[in-house]
Chain A
Amino acid sequence: MARVSISDGAAAGIVLAGGRSSRMGEPKAALEWHGSTLLHRTAALLGRTVDGPVVVVRAPGQELPALPAGVEVVEDPVEGLGPMQGIATGLATVAARAPIAFVCSTDMPFLHPAFVQRVLRVLADLDPAVDVVLPVARGFPQPLAAGYRTALAELVAKLVADGQLRPAMLFKQCRVARPDDAELLTDAPLARLDPDLDSLVNVNAPEDYAAARRRPAPQITVQRYGALASGGHHGPQAVRAGTLAAAAAATGLVLDRHVVAALNGDQISRDPALPLVAGDVVAFLSADAGG
């Protein structure tokens, strides 16, 4: 899966972790899903998808579960002002380093990089006068699975300062593209990898979470190479795994210092918590490949 960057700079990823989780009754960020927490998974998925910074925005003093290496954490200055505050903080944090950002919440266990890329590509390819790509899919506008120009940071902050705390107020003041399900799914990789746009499923209540947990881990393909393929382990193998460690275990390997994995022929990792999504291809190589 290609990582997203655009010609005049990188794309950023912003995860809003500061919601109250009141219907869930416990912090959503720390909920476990197939081997990692929802927050770790979301942040790491953005990390493997965008070229620019990945930022988690939390409420003042909010405790977070462990995060992937390289992910930055920033704090909302004020608690309880909702997503607009988080969007303002997140966009301001990355504005100098990336012209566009994908903004999402922490409770989307099925978020797929193909969806993130689809949204960011729409934004990157559009006339620069368009400020936001707001999917209107699965029946609703999705401001927390949307692409924003980071130059909006000041406007969003001003709206928050004026007490305009609903994203709809922002969308009134800037130019918004609103792709629907059908338009989003004209993208072949997205149509193949997330045909029902499950990327947009979020877990708000315990029953949502229970349903999400009942769904199996993503179906991926693993292949062992070189000495790791000895003993009849040649060729691709379909397994279900939500993390790199689970993928290794599914093919009978342990991610020790002698093994690395290449994700979709691209990023090389030995991070056991690296999240995997449907359609991923994981190549396990000897760590001493080369020579």
Chain B
Amino acid sequence: MTAGGYFGRALIVDVTGRAATGTPLDLDERVRRAYLGGVGLGTWLLHRLAPAGADPLAPAAPLAFVFSPLVGTPLTTSAKFAVVAKSPLTGLLTDALASSQFAISGKLTGHDAIVIRGRADELSVVLVDSDGVRLEPAPELAGLPAAEAETTARERFGRGWRTAAIGPAGERQVRYATISHDGRHAGRGGLGAVLGAKNIKAVLVRAGTKVAVADQAGVLAAARDLRGRSFGPATAKYRELGTLANLLAFNAVSTLPTRNFTAATFEAAPRLAAEELHEMRGVARNSCASCSIGCEHIYSRKGGGSQRMEYENVFALGPLCGVSDPDDVFAASARCDELGIDTISAGGTIAWAMECVERGLIDAPWLRFGDGAALLRALDAIGAREPGLGELLAQGSRHAAAVVGHDSIDFAPQVKGLELPGYEPRSLQAMALGLAVNSRGADHNRSGAYEADLSGELDRLAGGAAHVAAAIGTEDRAAVMDSMILCKFLRGVFTEPFDEWAALLAAVTGWDVDAAELRAVARRIVLAKRVFNLREGATAADDRLPARMLSTPLALGSGRVAALTAERLQSMVDGYYAARGLDAAGRPRPADLAGLLIDG
């Protein structure tokens, strides 16, 4: 045991063959303080443990479940963990966050991270508790959705175990398969395929110890305060309607990507809006473990059943594919959950395919924008990796465009291979930069620069120096929140975030950490991710948006034209490199590498 908040070690689990071995890896205070936990510590672990250039689906590729110093404390929204690996979709670093009891039980196995590598001989589950690790064959779980695998595994091993499981798509290594826990997903970048490639259906963890905090009274007081603030106006949107509240608002400001980014407003948006569904279909609210906000909104489906809906899955399976019937979107979301695939990448890849069909590049005349039944059929084909279209689309839009050719890459809605979330870059130009330069690829959680675009403080249609500063600011704040870890939906309650976060960390860990140190941590984490990607072959050419975004202006609902040219984006990227201390090719200066603590 070390000072508060940590155990000071990771567990490296090798699942090669028929038995698992566990080896501890010391995480000394220098590393912990440099990277905190979650996404930051996961990035450091990948630097240490991932062989350079290894195939993400090879046995040697590590997959890290990384906890954080705040896990296990009563601080609201802190029951979170990161899953970090090299992505089969991007070939670069990916890190997904999820919240569930898995975070608490996983950490209370006595480890700050659990890293899986190797490949089991047969479909298995790996169990970790404070007594050690073991591998158990689990053929009975084959083909099950993650939620059923979770139930079945807990019936077999006992309810004290918490699981992280993959669905059938993960077993088949669909490049954007997810890992699920308590109905939440580590969604982006294909982490489920990485686990599937190891023949691991589920990781089970069981709590067996306790973790100390440095200042128990201070942490309790902070938890009370934060909980009180979590009921205020800054989180009202999440509590009252959930993230789906974005849909109608984004439609009103021409930033709702529609029909594979050919439009930014969707005529049927009101049918899919939270406001509408809430009145007609709202059935329940739910929350992650240890959360006082409770942003999950669950809606009833016609014909029975219910479905949790978020903005991103409705955007991707609705407007992006031109689908307007809420029941079709509900069904498609449910299908993604059953198969265990990322809704954004699934929707983006299918929307791209629908456009390819329109242009005569893919021979699947049934796959039309707006056809909900076709959307479901495509999802099933992907989940099964059916020869032909299913196999093609299971690779994601970038890989599929390389197969289809004919410049279809120009309208593949992806950056670095990761499909774009529901934020139109041409009408949100700070976000455009964030999407282009982020290490994970097109992503709204690691780079929330849309906040600046929607703040009224800059002209969202005229990207420039202010947009660069805004994108860096949000990227830095995300790096700290994702590493300490707190839910980003809490971000609005902090008025001086770095100071307040430093105070929380000080109470938990006993460190004399301040805002300046945390700002340095943020920069280090962002840099470490970039350096990992450079090591894996990324270049400045990866910090780009699809050609469509740069060559085709978008007419807004207002009549104004949103044009994001290649020159404007490049000038923002250059500004970003300069502000981050990178050279013109986006590479760090050698002197800056020393602070990353990644040499041996």
Contact, CB under 8 Å: A265 / B558: yes
The residues in B between 196 and 236 inclusive whose CB is less than 8 angstroms from any CB of A are 233-234, 236
Contact, CB under 8 Å: B444 / A290: yes
Q: Kindly identify which residue among A223, A226, A285 contacts B241, using a CB–CB cutoff of 8 Å.
A: A226
Shortest beta-carbon distance from A1 to chain B in Å:
6
Contact, CB under 8 Å: B237 / A226: yes
Interface check B327, CB cutoff 8 A? no
Contacts of B265 in A (CB 8 A): 265
Contacts of B459 in A (CB 8 A): 267
Shortest beta-carbon distance from B314 to chain A in Å:
14
Contacts of B488 in A (CB 8 A): 291
Contacts of B237 in A (CB 8 A): 226-227, 286, 288-289
Contacts of B491 in A (CB 8 A): 288
Contact, CB under 8 Å: B249 / A285: yes
Interface check A229, CB cutoff 8 A? yes
Mask: chain B, 110-129; 1 = CB below 8 Å from A; 0 = not = 00000000000000000000
The residues in B between 230 and 259 inclusive whose CB is less than 8 angstroms from any CB of A are 233-234, 236-241, 243, 245-246, 248-250, 252-254
Interface centre among A266, A270, A290 (most CB of B within 10 A): A290
Contact, CB under 8 Å: B243 / A271: no
The residues in B between 248 and 286 inclusive whose CB is less than 8 angstroms from any CB of A are 248-250, 252-254, 265, 274-275
Contacts of A290 in B (CB 8 A): 246, 423, 444, 448, 450-451, 454
Task: Give the contact stretch, choosing among A158-166, A178-186, A256-264.
Answer: A256-264
- Nearest residue in B to A1 (C-beta to C-beta)? B558
Q: Kindly identify which residue among B448, B454, B558 contacts A266, using a CB–CB cutoff of 8 Å.
A: B558
A291 to B310, CA, bound (A): 10
- Nearest residue in B to A235 (C-beta to C-beta)? B275
Contact, CB under 8 Å: A291 / B241: no
A226 to B454, CA, bound (A): 14
A82 to B384, CA, bound (A): 79
Contact, CB under 8 Å: B560 / A291: no
- Nearest residue in B to A262 (C-beta to C-beta)? B253
A230 to B240, CA, bound (A): 8
A68 to B453, CA, bound (A): 20
A262 to B254, CA, bound (A): 10
Contact, CB under 8 Å: B275 / A229: yes
Q: Using A268-B454, A268-B456, A288-B237 as known contacts, say yes or no to A226 and B558 having CB atoms under 8 A apart.
A: no
Contacts of A269 in B (CB 8 A): 456
Interface centre among A3, A223, A226, A229 (most CB of B within 10 A): A226
Mask: chain B, 276-318; 1 = CB below 8 Å from A; 0 = not = 0000000000000000000000000000000000000000000
Mask: chain B, 65-76; 1 = CB below 8 Å from A; 0 = not = 000000000000
Contact, CB under 8 Å: A283 / B249: yes
Q: Kindly identify which residue among A1, A2, A223 contacts B252, using a CB–CB cutoff of 8 Å.
A: A223
Interface check A209, CB cutoff 8 A? no
The residues in A between 140 and 184 inclusive whose CB is less than 8 angstroms from any CB of B are none
Contacts of B489 in A (CB 8 A): 291
- Nearest residue in B to A223 (C-beta to C-beta)? B252
Contact, CB under 8 Å: A289 / B454: yes
- Nearest residue in B to A256 (C-beta to C-beta)? B233
Contact-residue size bin, chain A (C-beta under 8 Å from the other chain):
20 to 34
Mask: chain A, 243-281; 1 = CB below 8 Å from B; 0 = not = 000000000000000101110111111110000000000
Interface check A126, CB cutoff 8 A? no
Contact, CB under 8 Å: A230 / B241: yes
Interface check A192, CB cutoff 8 A? no
The residues in B between 429 and 484 inclusive whose CB is less than 8 angstroms from any CB of A are 444, 448, 450-451, 453-456, 459-460
A268 to B488, CA, bound (A): 23
Contact-residue size bin, chain B (C-beta under 8 Å from the other chain):
35 or more
Contact, CB under 8 Å: A3 / B454: no
Q: Kindly identify which residue among A229, A234, A260, A291 contacts B456, using a CB–CB cutoff of 8 Å.
A: A260
Interface check B600, CB cutoff 8 A? no
Interface check A24, CB cutoff 8 A? no
Interface check B160, CB cutoff 8 A? no
Contact, CB under 8 Å: B240 / A265: no
Q: Kindly identify which residue among B249, B556, B560 contacts A286, using a CB–CB cutoff of 8 Å.
A: B249
A262 to B423, CA, bound (A): 16
Shortest beta-carbon distance from B483 to chain A in Å:
18
A193 to B264, CA, bound (A): 26
Shortest beta-carbon distance from B378 to chain A in Å:
28
Contacts of A265 in B (CB 8 A): 252-254, 265, 556-558
- Nearest residue in B to A258 (C-beta to C-beta)? B233
Interface check B492, CB cutoff 8 A? yes
Contact, CB under 8 Å: A285 / B253: yes
Q: Using A226-B237, A230-B240, A291-B243 as known contacts, say yes or no to A1 and B559 having CB atoms under 8 A apart.
A: yes
Interface check A287, CB cutoff 8 A? yes
A287 to B493, CA, bound (A): 12
A264 to B240, CA, bound (A): 26
Q: Kindly identify which residue among A1, A225, A264, A270 contacts B249, using a CB–CB cutoff of 8 Å.
A: A225
Contacts of A234 in B (CB 8 A): 275
Shortest beta-carbon distance from B463 to chain A in Å:
14
Interface centre among A264, A266, A285, A291 (most CB of B within 10 A): A291
Shortest beta-carbon distance from B57 to chain A in Å:
31
Contacts of B246 in A (CB 8 A): 226, 289-291
Contact, CB under 8 Å: A266 / B236: no
A128 to B558, CA, bound (A): 28
The residues in B between 509 and 558 inclusive whose CB is less than 8 angstroms from any CB of A are 556-558
Q: Kindly identify which residue among B243, B454, B557, B561 contacts A287, using a CB–CB cutoff of 8 Å.
A: B454
Contact, CB under 8 Å: A268 / B455: yes
Contacts of B453 in A (CB 8 A): 268
Q: Kindly identify which residue among B233, B252, B254, B557 contacts A225, using a CB–CB cutoff of 8 Å.
A: B252
The residues in B between 43 and 94 inclusive whose CB is less than 8 angstroms from any CB of A are none
- Nearest residue in A to B232 (C-beta to C-beta)? A258
Q: Kindly identify which residue among A230, A260, A264, A271 contacts B558, using a CB–CB cutoff of 8 Å.
A: A264
Shortest beta-carbon distance from A37 to chain B in Å:
22
Q: Kindly identify which residue among B241, B254, B423, B455 contacts A227, using a CB–CB cutoff of 8 Å.
A: B241
Contacts of B236 in A (CB 8 A): 227, 230, 258, 286
By Cβ-Cβ distance, the 8 closest A-B pairs, closest first, are: A226-B245, A2-B559, A266-B558, A225-B249, A265-B557, A268-B456, A227-B236, A227-B237
- A sample of 30 cross-chain residue pairs with beta-carbon separation below 8 angstroms, ordered by A number, consists of A2-B561, A225-B245, A226-B241, A226-B249, A226-B274, A226-B275, A227-B241, A258-B234, A261-B456, A262-B253, A264-B558, A265-B265, A265-B557, A268-B455, A270-B455, A270-B456, A285-B249, A285-B253, A287-B454, A287-B492, A289-B245, A289-B246, A289-B249, A289-B450, A289-B454, A290-B448, A290-B454, A291-B243, A291-B448, A291-B488
Q: Which residues of B contact A (CB under 8 A)?
A: 233-234, 236-241, 243, 245-246, 248-250, 252-254, 265, 274-275, 423, 444, 448, 450-451, 453-456, 459-460, 488-489, 491-492, 556-561
Other than A258-B492, A262-B252, A285-B454, give 15 A-B pairs with Cβ distance below 8 A: A1-B558, A1-B559, A226-B274, A227-B239, A260-B456, A265-B252, A265-B253, A266-B253, A283-B249, A283-B252, A285-B252, A286-B237, A290-B448, A290-B450, A291-B444
